[in-house]
């Protein structure tokens, strides 16, 4: 936007009529990078094939008229598309800059007046302070801040502020750094607040976008494990296990997906079509399924290059298999949830046994048998009958009180 405004005389800034999208840069890249030169296949002595360009008598590369026609048609198509403003501009133009407080690093921005006319607004060094104060005082109802506005400021429902309404914090761009995401989320969730915020990660219906949510979810898990020794604290509970597409359960789900594609059980995506679209080979030289299958990250990155409809088809099957893996692990009692906080009325250590002593440090790993007592929540008979059916429960009667109860099989593993 700065480059585009630099090309426009300042006297025209009060009434702009230009496309602020990066359309021209994409067109320049398309014209220079689109492959238009003819190539031919050469067989090498070892049996491999190599593609080499064709040159004419003057030594110039031969241009394919068909490729040029395809490139020009794509350029015309891209040039005719309606411009799509950035997310920040859409928020400012839709709600109006009088309702939106912007705390970013921008010194200039393009706004829209009541008549729909675009104009340039120059922002001084104290603009962010004034915008923050306007939001906290309730003069502006919406706050938008970037990384530049996410350090050293507080936007929570402070008890000392005029605006004490509950914050709905939309995470529009999670980014790649988990510590930055946590810092941004912490701007609206602080002490001395009237209410805790509601965090809302924003995604579209393009399934390939889950790739980016997965990255931040995985790094938030790692950050929580490093900072507090508890994985779920890193993401503040806004991400679920299925959001992490790079876990051990995702690895098993990917293997099952590859097996279904290779065996022809994924009818929407035949094996040949999948290998051609993604460039990932599942077939070994002997004709069977490869042992060293493509890794998970490579698979996720290749899917981003597919058409949207094909992305959605493959991601939907992958997510289904991932959910099945997680549900099966939970049902078997082997699902790894990390460090847990177990609430109870009281705990009693019934026994303790040393199971391992480290030879170098003499530190010991103990096995503890703990009795947990917790208050029963009285339920209706219909609720408990359904509960017993769902969790293989046994109907029981308390001999002392005569109250009915349901006993279900369960266990927990704690690593010390």
> What is the C-alpha to C-alpha distance for residues 342 and 359, in angstroms, rounded to an integer?
32
Contact 144, 156 (CB under 8 A): no
Q: With bands split at pLDDT 50, 70 and 90, how would you rate the model's confidence at 415?
A: very low
In a domain? residue 250: yes
Query: What average pLDDT score do residues 75-99 get?
Result: 91
Question: What pLDDT score was predicted for residue 234?
Answer: 41
pLDDT, averaged across the chain: 84
User: Among 9-23, 228-242, 311-325, which stretch is predicted with the lowest mean pLDDT?
Assistant: 228-242
Q: At what angle do helices 210-227 and 178-185 cross, to 10 degrees?
A: 80
In a domain? residue 46: yes
In a domain? residue 413: no
Residue 79 parent element (H or E)? helix 65-80
- For residue 352, list its beta bridge partners: 368
Same domain as 382, residue 325: no
Q: What is the CA radius of gyration of the chain?
A: 30
Q: With bands split at pLDDT 50, 70 and 90, how would you rate the model's confidence at 241?
A: low
Q: With bands split at pLDDT 50, 70 and 90, how would you rate the model's confidence at 160?
A: very high
**DSSP string covering 83-107:** P---HHHHHHHHH-TTTEEEESS-S
For residue 66, the tally of other CB atoms under 10 A from its CB is 10
Question: What pLDDT score was predicted for residue 176?
Answer: 63
> What is the C-alpha to C-alpha distance for residues 208 and 126, in angstroms, rounded to an integer?
40
pTM to 2 decimal places: 0.62
3-state secondary structure of 145: strand
Q: What are phi and psi of 339, to 5 degrees?
A: -75, 130
Same domain as 327, residue 351: no
Same domain as 327, residue 363: no
Question: What pLDDT score was predicted for residue 242?
Answer: 66
In a domain? residue 125: no
Summarised one tens digit per residue, pLDDT across range 207-234 is 777 777 776 666 665 554 434 444 444 4
> What is the C-alpha to C-alpha distance for residues 100 and 141, in angstroms, rounded to an integer?
7
Question: What pLDDT score was predicted for residue 400?
Answer: 83
Burial of 171: CB neighbours in 10 Å, binned 0-12, 13-18, 19+:
middle
Cα–Cα distance list, 151 to 115, 128, 183, 321, 334 (Å): 36, 12, 7, 40, 40
Residue 330 parent element (H or E)? helix 308-332
For residue 257, the tally of other CB atoms under 10 A from its CB is 21
> What is the C-alpha to C-alpha distance for residues 103 and 135, in angstroms, rounded to an integer?
10
Structure tokens at 230: 């508890």
Q: Long-range contacts for 268-275 (Cβ within 8 Å, ≥24 apart)?
A: 268/313, 268/317, 269/310, 269/313, 269/314, 269/317
> What is the C-alpha to C-alpha distance for residues 119 and 192, in angstroms, rounded to an integer?
40
Could you list the residue range(s) of the whole structural domain that residue 38 is in?
22-80
In a domain? residue 316: yes
Same domain as 310, residue 248: yes
Return the closest-CA partner of residue 274 out of 294, 292, 291.
Answer: 294
In a domain? residue 237: no
- For residue 356, list its beta bridge partners: 365
> Between residues 335 and 230, which one has the greater pLDDT?
335
Q: Are strands 100-103 and 142-145 parallel, antiparallel or unpaired?
A: parallel
Structure tokens at 196: 């805790």
Same domain as 400, residue 350: yes
Same domain as 369, residue 328: no
3-state secondary structure of 41: strand
Question: What pLDDT score was predicted for residue 226?
Answer: 38
> Between residues 167 and 43, which one has the greater pLDDT?
167
Q: Among 280, 305, 332, identify where a domain stops.
A: 332
Summarised one tens digit per residue, pLDDT across range 349-404 is 999 999 999 999 989 999 999 998 888 777 788 888 888 888 788 888 888 888 88
Q: Among 80, 98, 121, identify where a domain stops.
A: 80
In a domain? residue 148: no
Question: What pLDDT score was predicted for residue 228?
Answer: 41
In a domain? residue 284: yes
Look at residue 150 and tell me whether its pLDDT is greater than 70. Answer: no
DSSP 406: E
> What is the C-alpha to C-alpha distance for residues 184 and 180, in angstroms, rounded to an integer?
6
Number of independent structural domains in the chain: 3
Look at residue 70 and tell me whether its pLDDT is greater than 50. Answer: yes
Burial of 360: CB neighbours in 10 Å, binned 0-12, 13-18, 19+:
exposed
Look at residue 41 and tell me whether its pLDDT is greater than 80. Answer: yes
Structure tokens at 148: 């530049």
> H helices then E strands: how many in the chain?
13, 12
Query: What average pLDDT score do residues 49-63 get?
Result: 88
Summarised one tens digit per residue, pLDDT across range 342-351 is 788 899 999 9
């Amino acid at each position: 936007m700065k480059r585009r405004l630099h090309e426009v005389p300042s006297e025209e800034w009060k009434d702009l009529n230009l496309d602020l999208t990066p359309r021209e840069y994409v067109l320049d890249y398309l014209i220079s990078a689109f492959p238009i030169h003819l190539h031919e296949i050469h067989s090498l002595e070892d049996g491999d094939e190599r593609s080499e360009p064709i040159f004419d008598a003057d030594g110039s590369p031969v241009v394919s008229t068909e490729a040029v026609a395809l490139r020009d048609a794509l350029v015309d198509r891209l040039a005719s598309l309606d411009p799509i403003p950035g997310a920040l501009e859409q928020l400012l133009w839709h709600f109006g800059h009088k309702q939106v407080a912007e705390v970013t690093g921008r010194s200039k921005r393009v706004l829209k007046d009541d008549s729909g006319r675009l104009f340039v607004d120059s922002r001084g060094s104290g603009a962010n302070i004034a915008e923050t104060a306007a939001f906290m005082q309730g003069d502006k109802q919406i706050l938008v801040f970037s990384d530049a506005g996410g350090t050293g400021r507080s936007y929570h429902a402070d008890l000392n502020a005029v605006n004490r309404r509950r914050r709905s914090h939309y995470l529009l761009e999670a980014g790649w750094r988990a510590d930055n995401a946590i810092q941004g989320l912490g701007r609206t969730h602080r002490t001395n607040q009237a209410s805790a915020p509601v965090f809302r990660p924003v995604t579209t219906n393009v399934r390939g976008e889950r790739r980016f949510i997965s990255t931040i979810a995985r790094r938030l898990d790692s950050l929580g494990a490093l900072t507090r020794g508890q994985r779920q604290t890193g993401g503040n509970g806004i991400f679920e296990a299925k959001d992490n597409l790079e876990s051990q359960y995702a690895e098993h789900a990917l293997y099952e997906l590859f097996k279904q594609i290779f065996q022809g059980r994924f009818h929407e995506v035949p094996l040949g079509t999948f290998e051609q679209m993604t460039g990932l080979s599942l077939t070994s030289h002997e004709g069977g399924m490869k042992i060293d299958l493509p890794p998970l990250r490579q698979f996720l990155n290749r899917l981003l290059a597919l058409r949207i409809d094909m992305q959605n088809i493959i991601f939907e099957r992958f997510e289904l298999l991932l959910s099945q893996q997680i549900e099966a692990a939970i049902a078997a009692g082997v699902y790894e949830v990390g460090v847990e906080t177990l609430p109870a009325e009281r705990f009693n250590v019934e026994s303790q046994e040393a199971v391992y002593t480290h030879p170098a440090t003499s530190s010991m790993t103990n096995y503890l048998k703990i009795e947990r007592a917790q208050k029963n929540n009285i339920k209706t008979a219909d609720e408990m009958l359904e509960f017993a059916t769902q969790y293989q429960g046994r109907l029981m009667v308390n001999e002392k009180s005569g109250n009915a109860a349901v006993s279900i099989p369960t266990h927990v593993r704690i690593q010390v």
